[in-house]
Amino acid sequence: MSPDRGLLVVGTGLIGTSIAMAAGLAGYDVMVDDVDPARLDLAISLLARGGRPWQQEPVSVAVVATPPNVVGSVCQQLLRTGLCSTVTHISSVQLQPQLEVESTLSLPAEFVGSHPIAGRELSGPQHASPDLFRERSWVICPTGRSAAASVEAVVGLATDCGAVTRVMSAEDHDALLARLSHVPQLLASALAASLVGMDRASVALAGSGLRDTSRLADSNPDMWLQIVAANAAAVAPALRPVVDRLASVLGELTQQPPAATGPAVADLLAAGRAGRDLLTGKHGERPVPWATVAVIVPDEPGALARLLGDAASAGINVEDIRVEHAPGHPVGVVELAVQPAGREPLHRELGRRGWTTTSSPPRTG
Amino acid sequence: MSPDRGLLVVGTGLIGTSIAMAAGLAGYDVMVDDVDPARLDLAISLLARGGRPWQQEPVSVAVVATPPNVVGSVCQQLLRTGLCSTVTHISSVQLQPQLEVESTLSLPAEFVGSHPIAGRELSGPQHASPDLFRERSWVICPTGRSAAASVEAVVGLATDCGAVTRVMSAEDHDALLARLSHVPQLLASALAASLVGMDRASVALAGSGLRDTSRLADSNPDMWLQIVAANAAAVAPALRPVVDRLASVLGELTQQPPAATGPAVADLLAAGRAGRDLLTGKHGERPVPWATVAVIVPDEPGALARLLGDAASAGINVEDIRVEHAPGHPVGVVELAVQPAGREPLHRELGRRGWTTTSSPPRTG
């Protein structure tokens, strides 16, 4: 096969194996490598359209999908072989590997950073999927010296994997991801950490708010330690205003005599709403927020399917679903999000079919 | 009707109207009152099983469901009338209204605090539902002087509304809710507030992690200002260790020369995981975590129903669903959570029926 479509993936964890799967389906000649022979074997056995161990053949694109702390050195090694027309990686942090490569190789034209924003709270090739990148964002970070052909090759790979690409500098990427991903991780972990020492029966009184707010704390601590350490220079200025704001709130809450008006708390709550408006596209890409219909659903096989079948028979598309479980109880409340015009018809149709429902006005996601 | 089942609800917002609806269905003789005549009319029109304006009749139980900052004074007024055998309220904060009542009435036997843990990011009678409390927790907070009959009456009302009751002191309630609800609210708001000033296109690169972690910031800022102010004495000690921990992390991230190991970040991430274990019942009430199967689903009416119908035909109960939307794109990824034993059969069955799936190992939460 021509080296034009030769793709080397180094590191066969969740992301690397998923890229190998997606690229294989898109017609690339996929080769894989890993320092762990057992993981490499597992990954190869999972690659439906083939994928073989790399044996130092020349390749068009090499993707370094190793843990963050060795991305820079593995990129250097590959660049030194002269076998790769383009070398990229998939790290959540862009500047540190770029600086590592630059430290000995004065930024070769073959090097282009990239970051598919498609992680999950799982790892390992056994959880890989060729669809992991479908409709997800994939940021491409050329250096000042990246060859146009190499940038195109990485954009092409990301597109072939089904992702939507966006090009920006490593510095911009790292500052952005610090705010959108790394600080949220630290806050979720800090919140979950504050539960340590409580008894389970007390924690069980928590509503879905605490569960949602702390979900990211399930992520892999080793990987996140590397990410936060590698992006410390961008995480610190992103975290500082959050800590300062919370410290102001704390100061206000402990003021003697107690403050009557609470400007710090009021500012925090108001700014929080304004920030959410940016995120949920309330005034942006989703001009019409969804309406919800809440339904009581028994915990038995087929109940959800029956509910959604009944919704579909009303001709209404369910845009989102949220299932609220009451631990140890045989029923749950399911919230169906629909276009506002669909709320009343859905409410009526489900009521007619015997479901206990209550409809609510628009909410945003 | 006998005053034994006479129920007065003062304040016809979301919670008050929902209690009136649920109690009406359970056979109570429901009377309502509100300082806002228009809201009162709306609430009465929504009460399917009747519900009339209170005209100073004696009642068995009075529920004060006003905004938090006037709960104490409204309870006092009702207690002074001598018309209510029991007076309770539904505030997210328990000690402050209790102290207010005590300040002039030396804690009458008729007074019992309570708090149904069933809020949402909505307000107003138009969003009320008699099912709001079904299978939810409802904390009952007797004072040292509450009459046993009054405690029983409030427990009975909560149970009649479908809730699961738990009795504890006002102090314990406030300390617990500070950790489980008020601090999460402040952290979510602080995170969302940190987005202010960013452009929408950049924020759109965020994954579902940021959306989940900041969701609570959509809540009503006026109500939350009252809650946090009223519970400042319990919120401060709950917030302080979180702020201290984040400040340590910030100090470590800005250390010169940079720290190699990062004990503060490592401790944060590890403790966060430990806290999540408490919350998700990994070792508790849900001993077997769910496995997930991710499926590509087109954005069209009936697609979700078809998917769940196919899942049901494999005889597998879907425990939870998460829909991940890519804004502006015609497909989404739906994660179905099932018992671990159901993962492979579901994976196979969906594949057989033409769905693009990938299965994942157990997750919690």
Contacts of A60 (CB under 8 A, 6+ apart): A3, A4, A5, A6, A7, A84, A85, A86, A153
pLDDT computed for residue A289 by the predictor? 60
Query: Which helix or strand (DSSP H or E) is residue A274 part of?
Result: helix A263-280
pLDDT tops 50 at residue B363: no
pLDDT tops 90 at residue A142: yes
Band of pLDDT at residue B327, cut at 50, 70 and 90: very low
- Residues of A within 8 A of B244 (CB-CB) are none
Chain A nearest-CA distance from B299, in A, is: 8
| Average pLDDT of the segment spanning B135-146 | 94
Contact B191 A276 (CB under 8 A): no
pLDDT digits (tens, 9 = 90+) for A9-41: 999 999 999 999 999 999 999 999 999 998 898
A27–B contact, CB cutoff 8 A: no
Dihedral sign from CA coordinates of B168, B173, B177, B180: negative
Q: Could you report the predicted ipTM of this complex, rounded to two decimals?
A: 0.79
pLDDT computed for residue B4 by the predictor? 73
CB B75 within 8 A of CB B89: yes
Contact B250 A232 (CB under 8 A): no
pLDDT computed for residue B57 by the predictor? 95
The gap between the terminal CA atoms of chain B, to the nearest Å, is 47
Chain A nearest-CA distance from B338, in A, is: 11
CA atoms within 13 A on the CB side of A142: 17
Mean pLDDT of chain A: 87
Chain A nearest-CA distance from B56, in A, is: 31
CA A338, CA A322: separation in Å to the nearest integer? 12
Residue type (1 letter), A240: R
Q: Which residue has the tokens 């009430």?
A: B285
Contact A218 B363 (CB under 8 A): yes
Q: Which of B262, B325, B365 sits opposite A215 (nearest CB)?
A: B365
Give the tokens for residue B99. 């102290």
CA B308, CA A307: separation in Å to the nearest integer? 9
Residues 119-178 of B with CB under 8 A from A: 119-122, 126-132, 134-137, 139, 164, 166, 176
Residue type (1 letter), A65: A
Contact A189 B269 (CB under 8 A): yes
Pairs from B18-21 (Cβ < 8 Å, separation ≥ 24): B18/B118, B18/B128, B18/B129, B18/B130, B18/B132, B18/B133, B19/B63, B19/B65, B19/B90, B19/B116, B19/B133, B19/B157, B19/B161, B20/B47, B20/B51, B20/B128, B21/B46, B21/B47, B21/B48, B21/B49, B21/B128, B21/B129, B21/B130
B319–A contact, CB cutoff 8 A: yes
| Average pLDDT of the segment spanning A279-285 | 56
pLDDT computed for residue A213 by the predictor? 95
CA A286, CA B270: separation in Å to the nearest integer? 37
CA A316, CA A345: separation in Å to the nearest integer? 8
CB B10 within 8 A of CB B74: yes
Q: Is the peptide bond before B287 cis (omega within 30 degrees of 0)?
A: no
CB A150 within 8 A of CB A175: no
Residue A89 sits at φ, ψ, to 5 deg, of: -150, 180
Band of pLDDT at residue A107, cut at 50, 70 and 90: confident
pLDDT tops 80 at residue B165: yes
pLDDT computed for residue A351 by the predictor? 84
Chain A nearest-CA distance from B55, in A, is: 30
Strand order in the sheet with B290-298: B320-325, B331-338, B290-298, B357-363
State the DSSP string of B226-257: HHHHHTHHHHHHHHHHHHHHHHHHHHHHT-SS
pLDDT tops 80 at residue B254: yes
pLDDT tops 60 at residue B175: yes
Q: Which residue has the tokens 């410390």?
A: A232
Size of interface A-B (CB pairs under 8 A): 439
CB A358 within 8 A of CB B118: no
B42–A contact, CB cutoff 8 A: no
Cα radius of gyration (chain A): 24
Residue type (1 letter), B161: C
pLDDT computed for residue A259 by the predictor? 63
Contact B209 A184 (CB under 8 A): yes
CA A357, CA A346: separation in Å to the nearest integer? 10
Contacts of A259 (CB under 8 A, 6+ apart): A252
Contacts of A79 (CB under 8 A, 6+ apart): A87, A101, A105, A108, A110, A111
Lowest mean pLDDT among A68-77, B185-194, B249-258: B249-258
Residue type (1 letter), A6: G
pLDDT digits (tens, 9 = 90+) for A303-362: 877 888 888 777 777 877 877 654 444 556 787 888 778 888 888 888 888 887 765 544
pLDDT computed for residue A283 by the predictor? 38
Hey, which of A39-48, A331-340, B12-21 has the most confident mean pLDDT? B12-21
B288–A contact, CB cutoff 8 A: no
Residue type (1 letter), A195: L
Contacts of A86 (CB under 8 A, 6+ apart): A60, A61, A62, A110, A112, A147, A149, A150, A153, A154
- Residues of B within 8 A of A202 (CB-CB) are 176, 180
Contact B213 A212 (CB under 8 A): yes
> What is the CA A339 to chain-centroid distance, rounded?
26
Contact A253 B246 (CB under 8 A): no
Cα dihedral A225→A230→A236→A238 (10° resolution): -90
State the DSSP string of A38-91: HHHHHHHHH-TT--EE--S--EEEEEE-S-GGGHHHHHHHHHHHT-EEEEEE--
pLDDT computed for residue A150 by the predictor? 97
B34-43: b (≥16 Cβ within 10 Å) or e? beeeebbebb
Contact A191 B327 (CB under 8 A): no
- Residues of B within 8 A of A285 (CB-CB) are 200, 204, 327-328
CB A290 within 8 A of CB A364: yes
CB A116 within 8 A of CB A133: yes
pLDDT digits (tens, 9 = 90+) for B207-227: 888 999 999 999 889 889 999
CA B151, CA A169: separation in Å to the nearest integer? 64
Residue type (1 letter), B117: I
Residues 183-242 of B with CB under 8 A from A: 183-196, 198, 200, 202-207, 209-219, 221, 224-225, 228-229, 232, 235-236, 238-242
Closest CA to A112 of A165, A75, A57: A75
**3-state class (DSSP) for residue A125:** helix
Length of chain A in terms of residues written: 365
Q: Which of A126, A194, A221 sits opposite B273 (nearest CB)?
A: A221
